[in-house]
Amino acid sequence: MIGSGILKGMAVTARNFVGSYFEKERLITVQYPEERNPLPENYRNFPILIYDTDDPHAGLRCVACKICEKECPPQCIYIVKSEDKKPDYMGKPQFYPKVFDIDISVCMSCQICVEVCPFEAIKMDKEFELSKRERFDHLLLRREQLSKSNDYYHKIHPVEAAAVDKNLSDAAAAAEAKKKAAAEAAAKAAAAKAATATPSAQGKASTGS
């Protein structure tokens, strides 16, 4: 029937309008900014850089590999790699970003940078109150503004952050086990070499006497 869609739509509107006087969940308007709806776990806005411990420099996970810079579709990431190295979360010396800028006036929140990062170093923030009076400098976020602690990451994405922590600790444990196995193998090889070298050395010693 022509117009049935309009009638159905009006019925939905009427049901919600009348229902809003009786059921709280139908009251979808909140008195922002005094009231705020909680954001869902998967809500995302712009990227942030995660650091471990309390030190935004020493704990920064980013190793300036520049993969995210290359993959970012609108090319809004700018990285300058350091000349020196600092230990990463596994104690391995790594480069770090001397400069890490993101132009959030260009960023389209696609999360590709997060997907391609091999170091769990870049994640999506939930902060959305970012309006500024200036178009250029004020929307260009520097490394210092982008750096957020792992505790902050846990606060905004608890489920995702817990999974990331587990991945990182599993990787650290696997690396530690590999290192231990290699050290044991090297010690065994050295012992075997010493055992085979001993009789000939003894033989030489006895011939000489």
The answer to whether the CB of 49 falls within 8 A of the CB of 146 is yes
Least Å distance, CB 134 to ligand SF4, is 20
What is the distance between the alpha carbons of residues 174 and 34, in angstroms, rounded to a whole number? 48
Q: Which stretch binds ligand SF4 (CB under 6 A): 12-20, 104-112, 139-147, 158-166?
A: 104-112
Q: Which stretch binds ligand SF4 (CB under 6 A): 28-36, 62-70, 82-90, 133-141?
A: 62-70
Q: Which of 38, 50, 35, 161 is nearest to 113 (CA)?
A: 50
Identify the residue among 45, 56, 59, 67 touching ligand SF4 (CB under 6 A). Answer: 67
The answer to whether the CB of 78 falls within 8 A of the CB of 178 is no
The answer to whether the CB of 52 falls within 8 A of the CB of 61 is yes
User: Which tokens belong to 86?
Assistant: 């600092």
- 68 scored as a contact of ligand SF4 (CB under 6 A): yes
- 63 scored as a contact of ligand SF4 (CB under 6 A): yes
Residues that bind ligand SF4 (CB under 6 A): 47, 62-68, 72-74, 76-77, 79, 102, 107-113, 117, 119, 121-122
